[in-house]
Amino acid sequence: MLNLLNKLYNVKTENNAVKKSFLFGIFKTKYFIEMFNFEFRFCGIVLLKTKINKGYEKFYILGIPFFIKKSSHKLYNKILDKIDGKYTDIYINFNCSGETYLFLTFFNSFNKGKKPLLIATKPYHVDLFNMMCPEIPYFYIPGLEKLRGYDNIFQEQYKNVNFYNILPMKHFINLEKQIIKGTDIHYYDEILKTVCIKNSEINSQKPLISEQVKQSALDKAKKINLNIDNFIFICPESQSNIDLDSYFWPDLINCFFENGTDVFMNVIKLSPLFGSAKTCFLTIQEAYCLASLSKGIIGLRSGILEPLSTLNNIPLVCLYSDFKDRGVLKSIPAKKVMNSFSLKKLPNTSYNITEYCIEDYSNDQLKQMITEVLL
């Protein structure tokens, strides 16, 4: 009897999909959990299916598209299903670390909601929320990227809740198109325009580091035998910028070792090229804390440098290479990247920042200039 019932109606979950079968498999449905897509089959033939891409849901009959609509309601419902209903303003953060940090520096000046909630879509967002706005509640919901729209809608009301898209994908597309054309703009100014806030209205927030985080960073440094009194903090990785010559960092590390200076590599991917340089996993807060104890910071332009640029007593050297081709976001020459993403134009930045466009110098020249600044 149970076997017969299973043939009449069966449901199972496998390969990130919920599959249902009716009437001995004559009718079947499949819901793709991570992709948010759906299909309905009759005798093995796909009669109806939906597909979500770039913020729109397309409906197909027998493989022929016949209807399209925005999928933002799915995004908002997904969030509302995960939280309780007490929040008036929900900020969905899709940004990488740099833009996330910058938005949080003026969040308290921008937010007018009585009961705001921050939504993290990446694990390190939580770390940044705790560092910049520890008093604001947050919720981490992975897997929302697929529902992200490619439009320019920053704020939208749904079910009596104000939803904010931090930041719209169209913001980045338009920004980089202008940079490629040669328009003299800076990305921080463009962020303020998108969210409709003026510099004069901002009381910029600096990073807040707890004693617990400080102790954790020191404990990790002790475990790897880092010379906490004499070391350089290096950030060689970047999501947007093209990597430097593979031997640039090892040669630079050796320059510091020859001078008796220890080196910490703040990296996600380990490499034998880093030789005897020290490394371990650090949260963004711990990285900020450890960098504040260094003799100097060096980094390929990346989001971690935004918060590190506020350390007034620590010299920072930032290197600019070309932006990679990132699909919808195209490659950008290093000089244009340096002009439009310069750390020197950000709020609360240190007076002690040096920036180099790598195409202007040889590796040997760069190493010499960097060591002269930091040693």
- State the architecture of 211-374 in CATH terms: 3-Layer(aba) Sandwich (3.40)
Distance CA 356, CA 338 (A): 8
Give the containing element (helix H, strand E) for 14: strand 9-14
pLDDT digits (tens, 9 = 90+) for 256-282: 999 999 999 999 988 887 888 999 999
SS3 string, 290-349, reads HHCCCCEEEEECCCCHHHHCCCCCCCEEEEECCECCECCECCECHHHHHHHCCHHHCCCC
Mean pLDDT of 312-331: 95
Mean pLDDT of 210-217: 97
- Residue 242's pLDDT is 96
Q: Are strands 116-120 and 138-140 parallel, antiparallel or unpaired?
A: parallel
Tokens of 38: 């759906």
Tokens of 72: 């933002």
pLDDT digits (tens, 9 = 90+) for 78-121: 999 999 878 999 999 999 999 999 999 999 999 988 899 999 99
What does the DSSP 8-state code read for residue 146? G
Residues facing 318 on adjacent strands: 299, 355
- Residue 6's pLDDT is 63
Does residue 316 contact residue 266 with C-beta atoms inside 8 Å?
A: no
Tokens of 147: 């529902």
SS3 string, 57-122, reads EEEEECCEEEEEEECHHHHHHHHHHHCCCCCCEEEEECCCHHHHHHHHHCHHHHCCCCCEEEEECC
pLDDT band at 28 (very low <50, low <70, confident <90, very high): confident
The residues, any chain, with a CB within 8 Å of residue 310's CB and separated by 6 or more, are: 206, 207, 348, 349, 350
- Residue 5's pLDDT is 56
Name residue 371's amino acid.
T
pLDDT band at 194 (very low <50, low <70, confident <90, very high): very high
Q: Residue 332: pLDDT above 90?
A: yes
Q: Going edge to edge, which strands form the sheet with 9-14?
A: 9-14, 17-22, 27-32, 37-42, 45-53, 56-61, 64-70
Residue 1, helix vs strand vs coil: coil
pLDDT band at 8 (very low <50, low <70, confident <90, very high): low
Q: Residue 1: pLDDT above 70?
A: no
For the chain, give the percent of residues with pLDDT over 70.
Answer: 98
pLDDT digits (tens, 9 = 90+) for 150-181: 888 999 999 999 999 999 999 999 999 999 99
Averaged pLDDT score across all residues of the chain: 91
